[in-house]
């Protein structure tokens, strides 16, 4: 010890001597690894007294701080969210402890205050929360990734089984986001358990300092000294009142304590209304109480509509709002909205699905896509849960069972609400379905039909009977006695399908037909396969088997009689068709084109126009001719007189059938010329 006194008394200020002293103390105290490093600060050596208040961070600080500042956070603007969240946590802690410690009870109002100083280029965030002692400053701010909030909760949970305290800090890195925009951070703080206050200061590199300060009230004040503007970032923008207001509204609007700020305003003078004067008025920037945390009975439709229009920038209210408040093993609140009109880019690659995500009222991310299945990509809304596992930057959600469970619950809830709408307000459901029905049908088809049982009762089709929407369940309930299939037609419009030659037999026998107008329809039905034991049948595909035994015998007899004619027509058309046969489904029309089982005509058209579509994928064509039509009788006559002429007739019949089915013909000019030739010959 005499050596130490000698060094102090001689007021030695050289770096080497101080280093020797530091080593001597370490050896004297038998410390091999000093937790606090005695860095040199010559400004703290006064009158022969060494006041070493500069310390090193307890981790490999420089590298880790660089990671905190430059890598973890995607957007620099979230620094304000993090610091406000810390202030909110500090107030939560003080409020909770005051309920147990009478010495902390106070009548003061809790607050978070933000102020800017453009001259000094500083932003200050102040609160009257729990504050910190010197040891807590060292422990919480001197150790990166050491979370005071997490430690606080752990201590509480160790002593109580019923803790309901929302504190968002988990990793202890949020504070360091301040260095993304600051080249120096000053923290003035006082704990109610400390008689004096302390100032913590650092430039975000290797060291920090702690000094005593005069501070009478508990709480914390953080001063950010902003960086200079550069080519990549305009840090001075954070000194503007409008920017602070925007950031609070975006990220911290639902923090439970008032976030206040003095706002500059221009108002008319009292003595001269024609002139304005500048005043400073204190405003509360956040709304504090999230709408979604209120009970359903407390929320009006007007409030829901206004919230939706403001939050999601829509000029009209939603077609449906769904409110969820779930408590149990997993706690969360949710507000889900179905917009009246689909976004213009809903089906483009640029559209991003997802719900806004909050944790304890603090905004985490804008589009959490994992909460929304693809077929519900049109929904908007938010989820707020205190139970979610956040990653270190609090920006992205870790994939965990809580997230999956919330997503599953939301999907079931939306499905149940849609079922209620269909049952109780059919007109509203049809309005919804006209906009988003194709999405539900995609949900049936997607993932090889994994959701088909969930969605099959929500899909609708226009019926040939009423020309209105019907469910599959309603169709099955109306089926004729002994009817084997659910019949459907495919086409571009109801009017076009109504006139299909294939409809003639169904109409004659009074069978109801569902009209498929969307590209996805037939793909979805093929995945669904059946409904309540009834399989689906395309009226333009395969045999319908609706003839009586007598009708079948009569048709077989005619096919034998005209076997040579039918074979000649088939040969004339070469590989355009796989078969030419007499039709049992045609009543008034002369001809129609049907496909064999497998790929249908509509599927062929859809696949052809898809990106990278394969035009070689063709449905197997069958040309059906009405044996009772006058045109067939004319074919008989021509075949007997001039077989070669039948080739032209065959080509015209095939082209006519193509046009009826909505296919483009390869050579319209040739078709027109053949029509003219036949008309001329028939006139002679």
Contact 560, 585 (CB under 8 A): no
Say if residue 24 is in the same domain as residue 120. no
- The answer to whether residue 3 scores a pLDDT higher than 80 is no
Non-local CB neighbours of 62 within 8 Å, separated by 6+ positions:
205, 206
* Greatest CA separation for the chain: 138
pLDDT attached to residue 152: 57
Q: Residue 676, CB half-sphere, CA atoms under 13 Å: how many?
A: 6
Has residue 268 been placed in a domain? no
Over residues 579-596, the mean pLDDT reads 93
Lowest mean pLDDT among 7-21, 409-423, 530-544: 7-21
Has residue 85 been placed in a domain? yes
Say if residue 255 is in the same domain as residue 308. no
Has residue 492 been placed in a domain? no
Tell me the CATH number at 420.
Answer: 3.30.230.80
Has residue 217 been placed in a domain? yes
Has residue 353 been placed in a domain? yes
Tell me the pTM: 0.72
Of 219, 242, 262, which closes a domain?
262
Tell me the CATH number at 658.
Answer: 1.20.120.790
Say if residue 29 is in the same domain as residue 76. no
Say if residue 250 is in the same domain as residue 335. no
Task: Give how many domains the chain has, as a whole number.
Answer: 5
φ, ψ for residue 15 (rounded to 5)?
Answer: -60, -40
Contact 149, 89 (CB under 8 A): yes
Indicate the pLDDT class of residue 58, thresholds 50, 70 and 90: low
Has residue 236 been placed in a domain? yes
Say if residue 150 is in the same domain as residue 34. no
Has residue 283 been placed in a domain? no
pLDDT in tens, 545-555: 888 889 899 99
Say if residue 76 is in the same domain as residue 222. yes
Say if residue 101 is in the same domain as residue 233. yes
Using CA atoms, how far apart are residues 525 and 476, in angstroms rounded to an integer? Answer: 15
Q: Which residue did the predictor score with more confidence, 505 or 4?
A: 505
Of 424, 440, 467, which closes a domain?
424
Of 26, 52, 78, which closes a domain?
52
Has residue 644 been placed in a domain? yes
Indicate the pLDDT class of residue 69, thresholds 50, 70 and 90: low
Tell me the CATH number at 165.
Answer: 3.30.565.10
**How many angstroms from the chain centroid is the CA of residue 650?**
55
- The answer to whether residue 155 scores a pLDDT higher than 80 is no
Q: Which residue did the predictor score with more confidence, 360 or 501?
A: 501
Say if residue 77 is in the same domain as residue 224. yes
Non-local CB neighbours of 615 within 8 Å, separated by 6+ positions:
608
pLDDT attached to residue 274: 76
What range does the domain containing 9 cover? 2-52
> What residues are paired with 267 via a beta bridge?
277
Residue of 483, 516, 510 whose CA lies nearest to 497: 516
Residue with structure tokens 């004729």? Answer: 480
The CA-to-CA distance between both ends of the chain, in Å, stands at 135
Say if residue 658 is in the same domain as residue 561. yes
Say if residue 95 is in the same domain as residue 176. yes
Using CA atoms, how far apart are residues 235 and 391, in angstroms rounded to an integer? Answer: 26
Contact 403, 371 (CB under 8 A): yes
pLDDT attached to residue 361: 83
pLDDT attached to residue 319: 96
Contact 176, 65 (CB under 8 A): yes
Non-local CB neighbours of 378 within 8 Å, separated by 6+ positions:
338, 339, 342, 343, 346, 435, 436, 439
Strand ordering across the sheet containing 219-226: 54-56, 207-213, 197-202, 182-190, 219-226, 122-127, 112-117, 259-268, 276-284
Q: Which residue did the predictor score with more confidence, 333 or 664?
A: 333
Using CA atoms, how far apart are residues 508 and 587, in angstroms rounded to an integer? Answer: 8
Over residues 60-89, the mean pLDDT reads 76
Over residues 321-336, the mean pLDDT reads 92
Say if residue 653 is in the same domain as residue 522. no
Say if residue 676 is in the same domain as residue 555. yes
Contact 437, 449 (CB under 8 A): no
Residue with structure tokens 């800017």? Answer: 116
Non-local CB neighbours of 220 within 8 Å, separated by 6+ positions:
87, 90, 126, 127, 129, 131, 132, 187, 188, 189
Contact 219, 126 (CB under 8 A): yes
């Amino acid at each position: 010890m005499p050596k130490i006194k000698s060094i102090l008394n001689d007021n030695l200020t050289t770096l080497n001597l101080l280093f020797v002293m530091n080593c001597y103390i370490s050896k004297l105290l038998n410390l091999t690894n000093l937790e606090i490093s005695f860095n040199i600060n010559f400004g703290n050596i006064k009158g022969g007294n060494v006041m070493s208040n500069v310390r090193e961070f307890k981790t490999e600080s420089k590298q880790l701080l660089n990671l905190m500042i430059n890598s973890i956070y995607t957007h620099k603007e979230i620094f304000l969210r993090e610091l406000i969240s810390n202030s909110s946590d500090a107030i939560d802690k003080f409020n909770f402890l005051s309920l147990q410690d009478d010495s902390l009870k106070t009548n003061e109002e809790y607050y978070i205050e933000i102020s800017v100083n453009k001259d000094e280029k500083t932003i200050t965030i102040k609160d009257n929360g729990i504050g910190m002692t010197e040891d807590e400053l060292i422990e919480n701010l001197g150790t990166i990734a050491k979370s005071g909030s997490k430690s606080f909760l752990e201590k509480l949970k160790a002593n109580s089984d019923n803790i309901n305290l929302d504190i968002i800090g988990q990793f202890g890195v949020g504070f360091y986001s301040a260095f993304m925009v600051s080249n120096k951070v000053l923290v003035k703080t006082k704990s109610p358990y400390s008689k004096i206050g302390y100032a913590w200061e650092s430039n975000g590199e290797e060291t920090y300092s702690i000094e005593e300060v005069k501070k009478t009230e508990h709480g914390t004040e953080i001063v950010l000294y902003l960086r200079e503007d550069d080519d990549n970032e305009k840090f001075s923008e954070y000194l503007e009142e409008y920017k602070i207001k925007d950031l609070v509204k975006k990220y911290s609007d639902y923090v439970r304590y008032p976030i206040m700020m003095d706002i500059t305003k221009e108002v008319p003078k009292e003595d001269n209304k024609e002139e304005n004067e500048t005043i400073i008025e204190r405003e509360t920037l956040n709304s504090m109480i999230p709408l979604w945390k209120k009970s359903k009975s407390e929320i009006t439709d007007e409030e829901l509509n206004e919230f939706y229009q403001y939050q999601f920038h829509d000029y009209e209210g939603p077609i449906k709002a769904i409110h969820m408040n779930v408590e149990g093993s997993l706690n969360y609140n949710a507000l889900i909205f179905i917009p009246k009109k689909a976004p213009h880019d809903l089906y483009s690659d640029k559209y991003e699905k997802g719900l806004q995500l909050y944790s304890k009222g603090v905004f985490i991310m804008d589009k959490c896509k994992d909460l929304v299945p693809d077929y519900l990509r049109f929904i908007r809304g938010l989820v707020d849960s205190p139970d979610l596992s956040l990653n270190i930057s609090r920006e992205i959600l870790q994939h965990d069972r809580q997230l999956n469970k919330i997503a599953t619950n939301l999907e079931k809830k939306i499905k149940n609400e849609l079922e209620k709408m269909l049952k109780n307000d059919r007109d509203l459901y049809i309005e919804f379905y006209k906009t988003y029905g194709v999405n539900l049908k995609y949900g049936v088809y997607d993932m090889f039909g994994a959701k088909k049982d969930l969605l099959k009762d929500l899909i609708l089709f226009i019926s040939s009977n009423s020309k209105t929407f019907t469910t599959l369940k309603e169709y099955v309930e109306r089926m004729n006695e002994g009817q084997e299939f659910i019949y459907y037609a495919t086409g571009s419009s109801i009017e076009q399908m109504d006139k299909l030659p294939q409809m003639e037999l169904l109409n004659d026998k009074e069978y109801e037909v569902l009209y498929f107008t969307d590209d996805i329809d037939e793909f979805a039905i093929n995945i669904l396969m059946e409904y309540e034991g009834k399989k689906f049948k395309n009226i333009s595909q395969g045999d319908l088997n609706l003839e009586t035994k007598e009708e079948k015998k009569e048709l077989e007899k005619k096919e034998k009689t005209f076997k040579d004619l039918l074979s000649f027509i088939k040969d004339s058309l070469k590989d355009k068709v796989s078969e030419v046969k007499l039709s049992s489904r045609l009543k008034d029309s002369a001809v129609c084109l049907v496909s064999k089982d497998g790929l249908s005509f509509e599927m062929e058209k859809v696949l052809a126009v898809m990106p990278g579509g394969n035009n070689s994928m063709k449905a197997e064509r069958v040309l059906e001719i009405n044996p009772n039509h006058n045109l067939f009788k004319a074919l008989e006559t021509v075949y007997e007189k001039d077989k070669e002429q039948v080739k032209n007739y065959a080509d015209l019949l095939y082209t006519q059938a193509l046009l009826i089915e909505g296919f483009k013909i390869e050579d319209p000019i040739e078709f027109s010329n053949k029509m003219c030739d036949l008309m001329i010959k028939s006139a002679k």
